[in-house]
A and B are shown apart, each in its own frame.
Chain A
C-alpha cells in the first residue's frame, strides 16, 4: 500500500476521510484513446465520486495546436478551472475511470501551471466503486474560485529540446508506450505516424508501474522498474508516450521515488512520429552510452 501524499498520490481511504473537507476539490479526468469508443463525459454524468467535476482533457488544451491535447495557454487554464470552481487554497484529488490512465496528465498539468496541491487517487474510480463507496450522478454546485497560475516552463519540453537531448544524451528519455509500439512492431494507433522510438530513449511501459488493481506500485518496486529499463536515474528525465497522457504516469512515479528533475515532452510520438527526417530507432532500447 502506497503512502498517502497530498502532492502525489492518495488512497481511497484518505479521500473518503477528507470527502467533506471544505477546501477539497475532486476532478474526474477520464479520457480514452480515440479508437476506444467510450464517452468519458457520459460516464461521468452517469456516476462519479460525490462533488467531482469533469476535467475535459481535450477541451482544456491548446486549440491552436494541430497536435492532440497540448498544454493550454495559461489564460485558458485559469478561466476553465475558475469555471470548475477550482482555485487557490484547494486540495485537489484527480481520478479516472480506468484506474490510473489519464488522471496523472491532469496532475502534471496542475504542476506545470504552478499548482502543487494535487494528488492522483490511487486505483481511481474502479477501486472506489469496488470498495462500495458512495457515488452520485448529480451535477455539482460550483462557485467560482480564482486560481493563480505561474507556468513552470522547466516541466515541459518541446521538440527542439528533445531532439537536442537525443543527440547529446544529457537527459534520459523515458517512453511510456507499450513495448510493441516502442520497438515499432505494432503500427501506431494514430494514422500517418512512423513506428519506432526516439533514438537513445528507454522503454518504461506505464502499466509496469501499476499493480493488478490499477494502484501504483510502492516506491521500492517503482525504482526497480526504472532501473530494469536501463535508465540512468542520475540524469534528468524527459517522459514521453503517444500524446503526453501516459507519460505523466511516469512523471508521477518519478516524483514518488523522489526524483524531481523530470519534464514531459508534450508533443510526444504524435509529433516526433510525424516528422519525415528526424531519426527513429526500432527494436529494443540501445544500451550503454549513446
Chain B
C-alpha cells in the first residue's frame, strides 16, 4: 500500500546542513539551521541546565506519567516567564508540547477544532515550517506583507493593509519577537496599532515566541506578547524552550490559550488536554522539568539568565561587527539593517543566485532566501563573510 505515497520534498534547511558537512573546505561557514553556536562553533549545554540535570538525576524517583498537559509547575513557570502579570493566571489554559513546533501544531489543531473553515494569516515570509504544517493539515493560509526588500525592515503599511482583510473567525499568526527568518521586528507603537486592528476586525491572534531572551532581553522580548494577551479577548501563544534554554533535542514547549475569564479557561484547558491525548498522550517531561527547576531556583535562574544575556550580547556584538565591517568594505550604509535586526537571524534580502554564489565560491552556507544565522559567526569569520558578501556584489 505504501507505494501510493508521494515523495516528500526534503527539508531545505536540513539538506543544507548535510551539504555543509560534506564540504571539504576548511574555511567553510555554516549560517544555516537555527541553532545557537558559541565562538568555537559548539552548541553547549547551559550551566544551569546541566546543574539542574544533575540534581534531577539524584532526586527523581519515578518516570511515571505526568498530566496530559504536562507538569503543572512547568505551566506555571512558563506562563510567568512569557506573560509576567499581564493577565490573571486563572484566564490562561496551558499545555506542555513537544517543543515549540509541537505548540504550533497543537495550536493549529485547536484553531481548526473551533472553526473548520479558519484562515490563518501568515507573514511573508515566515518560518517555512508554519506553512508546511498548515498545508499538511489542510488549513487555508493567507499571506500578509511583512518584509520590505528595500529597507530590510517591516513593510508596516502593507502589513496593516493586508491584516485589515482578516475577519472574525480568522487567525493572525505573529512572531512575538526576533522574527524568523527576517530579523525585522515591529516596534511597540506599531504593535499597538496591530492590536487595535485585531480588535476592529475581530480576528484572533496567535503568537509564536521561540526566541525570548535573544533580542532585547527576557522581558523586553515578551513585551509585545504581553500587550496582545492583555488587550484582546482571546489569543493563543506558542512558546519554545529550545533556544533560550538550549535544550533543542529535549523537545520542550508550551501552548497557552488566554481567555477573557476563568470559565472560558476551563473549556480551553479541556481542549488542550484532549488534543494532547489524541496526538501523543503525554508531552515529554525531561526538558520541561529542567526548565521548571531553573526558573524556580533563585541561583539557577540567575545563572541561566546571565548566560542567556551573554549569548544575546554576543549576537548583538556580531551584528554590530558585521554591519561595521560591511560599511567599511562597501563604503555604504546599506547594510546598517543588520545591526537593527534582532534575534538569531537576518535576511540579507538578496537573490537565490547570490546565495548560491556565496556557497560555491566562498563555502558560506545560508538558506536560499538569504537568511543568515548570526550565531553561526564568530569574530574571526565576520570579516570573511563581509568580504565574501561584497565580493559577490550583494
A163 close to B202 (CB less than 8 A): no
B118-139 Cβ-contact flags toward A at 8 Å (1 or 0): 0000000000000000000000
Interface status of B271 (Cβ within 8 A of chain A): no
User: For the complex, is A1 an interface residue (Cβ under 8 Å from B)?
Assistant: no
Contact indicator B196/A158 (Cβ below 8 Å): yes
Contacts A158-B192, A163-B199 given; indicate if A277 touches B230 (C-beta within 8 A). no
Task: Give every chain B residue within 8 A of A168 (Cβ-Cβ).
Answer: 87-88, 230
B381 within 8 A of partner (CB):
no
Q: How far is the CA of A168 from the CA of B192 in the complex (A)?
A: 18
Q: Which residue of A lies closest to B189 (CB)?
A: A158
* Chain B 77-88 interface 0/1 with A at a Cβ cutoff of 8 Å (1 = within): 000000000111
Q: Decide if A16 is an interface residue (CB 8 Å cutoff).
A: no
**A199 nearest CB across to chain B (Å):** 8
A161 cross-chain contacts in B, Cβ below 8 A: 231
Q: State which of B168, B201, B204, B232 has its C-beta within 8 Å of the C-beta of A163.
A: B232
By the criterion CB–CB under 8 Å, are B260 and A279 in contact?
yes
Docked CA distance A275–B234 (Å): 13
- Chain A interface, number of residues (Cβ within 8 angstroms): 15
CA A242 to CA B71, docked complex, whole Å:
47
Q: Which residues of B contact A279 (CB under 8 A)?
A: 233, 260
Which chain A residue has the least Cβ–Cβ distance from B201?
A276
Contact mask for chain A residues 130-173; partner B; CB cutoff 8 A; 1 contact, 0 none: 00000000000000000000000000001111011001100000
Residue of B86, B195, B202, B234 touching A276 (CB-CB under 8 A): B202
- Against A, the Cβ 8 Å flags (1 = close, 0 = not) of B257-287 are 0001000000000000000000000000000
Contact flag A160-B192 (CB < 8 Å), given A168-B87, A276-B168, A277-B233: yes
A165 to chain B, nearest CB (A): 9
B195: chain A residues at CB < 8 Å are: 159-160
Closest beta carbon of chain A to B256's beta carbon, Å: 15
Which of B45-88 touch A at CB < 8 Å? 86-88
A161 to B231, alpha carbons, bound, how many Å? 7
Q: Chain B interface: which size bin?
A: 20 to 34
Which residues on A sit within 8 Å (CB–CB) of B86? 164
Q: Looking across the interface, which residue of chain A has its beta carbon closest to that of B91? A: A167
Q: Is the CB of A159 within 8 A of B88?
A: no
- Residues of chain B in range 333-380 having any CB-CB distance to chain A below 8 Å: none
Measured CB to CB, the closest approach of chain B to A228, in angstroms, equals: 27
B193, chain A: closest CB distance, angstroms: 10
- Cβ of A92 to closest chain B Cβ, rounded Å: 30
Asked if A274 is at the interface (CB within 8 A of a chain B CB), the reply is yes
Tell me, in angstroms, the Cα distance from A168 to B231 when the chains sit together. Answer: 10
In the complex, chain B residues 145-178 whose Cβ is within 8 Å of any chain A Cβ: 168
Bound CA span A180–B86, Å: 32
Q: Which residues of B contact A276 (CB under 8 A)?
A: 168, 201-202
User: Considering the complex, which residues of chain B in the window 193-224 have a beta carbon less than 8 Å from any beta carbon of chain A?
Assistant: 195-196, 199-202, 204
- A277 touching B202 in the complex, CB below 8 Å, given contacts A158-B192, A160-B195, A168-B87: yes
Using CB atoms, name the residue of chain A closest to B194. Answer: A160
Which of A164, A199, A274, A275 is close to B230, meaning CB atoms less than 8 Å apart? A164
Q: Are A164 and B199 in contact (CB under 8 A)?
A: no
Q: Which residues of A contact B192 (CB under 8 A)?
A: 158, 160
A164 to B195, CA, bound (A): 12
Given A160-B231, A277-B202, A277-B233: A167 touches B88 (CB 8 Å cut-off):
yes
The complex places the Cα of A279 from the Cα of B263 at a distance, in Å, of 14
Collect the chain A residues with CB atoms within 8 Å of residue B227's CB.
160
User: By the criterion CB–CB under 8 Å, are A163 and B231 in contact?
Assistant: yes
Do A160 and B200 touch across chains, with their CB atoms under 8 A apart?
Answer: no
Q: Which of B87, B88, B231 has the most CB of A within 10 A?
A: B231
Chain A residue contacts of B231, Cβ below 8 A: 159-161, 163-164
Question: Who on chain B is nearest to A160 by CB?
Answer: B231
Q: Chain B residue with minimal CB distance to A66?
A: B200
Closest residue of chain A to B204, judged by CB?
A277
Contacts of B202 in A (CB 8 A): 275-277
Contact of B168 among A158, A159, A199, A277 (CB under 8 A): A277
B residues in contact with A158, CB < 8 Å: 192, 196
CB distance A278 to B196 under 8 Å?
A: no
Known A167-B230, A168-B230: A160·B196 in contact at CB below 8 Å:
yes
Contact of B199 among A159, A167, A199 (CB under 8 A): A159
> Whole-angstrom distance between the alpha carbons of A168 and B1 in the complex?
56
**B window 221-241: CB within 8 A of A:** 227, 230-234
Chain A residue nearest to B226 (CB atoms) is A164
Task: Name the 3 nearest CB pairs between A and B, nearest first.
Answer: A164-B230, A276-B202, A160-B231
User: What are 12 A-B pairs at a CB distance below 8 A?
Assistant: A158-B192, A159-B195, A159-B196, A160-B195, A160-B227, A160-B231, A164-B230, A167-B230, A274-B200, A276-B201, A278-B199, A279-B260
If A163-B231, A275-B202 are given as contacts, then 18 extra A-B residue pairs at C-beta distance below 8 Å, sorted by A number, are A159-B195, A160-B192, A160-B196, A160-B230, A160-B231, A161-B231, A163-B199, A164-B230, A164-B231, A167-B230, A275-B199, A275-B200, A276-B201, A277-B168, A277-B199, A278-B232, A279-B233, A279-B260
